[in-house]
Amino acid sequence: MTNYTYLLRCADGTLYCGWTNDIEKRVAAHNAGAGAKYTKARRPVRLAYYETFSTKQEAMRREAEIKRFTRQEKLALIGNCAEEKCK
């Protein structure tokens, strides 16, 4: 099963980082108000970046790493992503 670490761009311009094993379902859940408390009030959200991993632990580790990034580092990550990872 593929696992993902992702960054969402919220309607207010903020960024949200998370992990999942079904990225399309998770983004839909965020937009439906069932994803996370943070994104519930910042809808609609848009997938800005994602990375794939073979294990849940790798995805969670990368999520924790990205959450420690500054906003500028997160924006640079989004800006430097390969086209297939940019939405």
Predicted confidence (pLDDT) per residue in 29-61, tens digit: 999 999 999 999 999 999 999 999 999 999 999
Position 87 scores a pLDDT of 47
Taking all residues of the chain, what is their mean pLDDT, rounded to a whole number?
Answer: 93
Taken in order of first residue, the domains within the chain and their CATH numbers are 3-85 (3.40.1440.10)
- Burial code (b: 16+ CB inside 10 Å, e: under 16) for 30-50 equals bbeeebeeebeebeebebbbb
pLDDT, residue 86, reads: 54
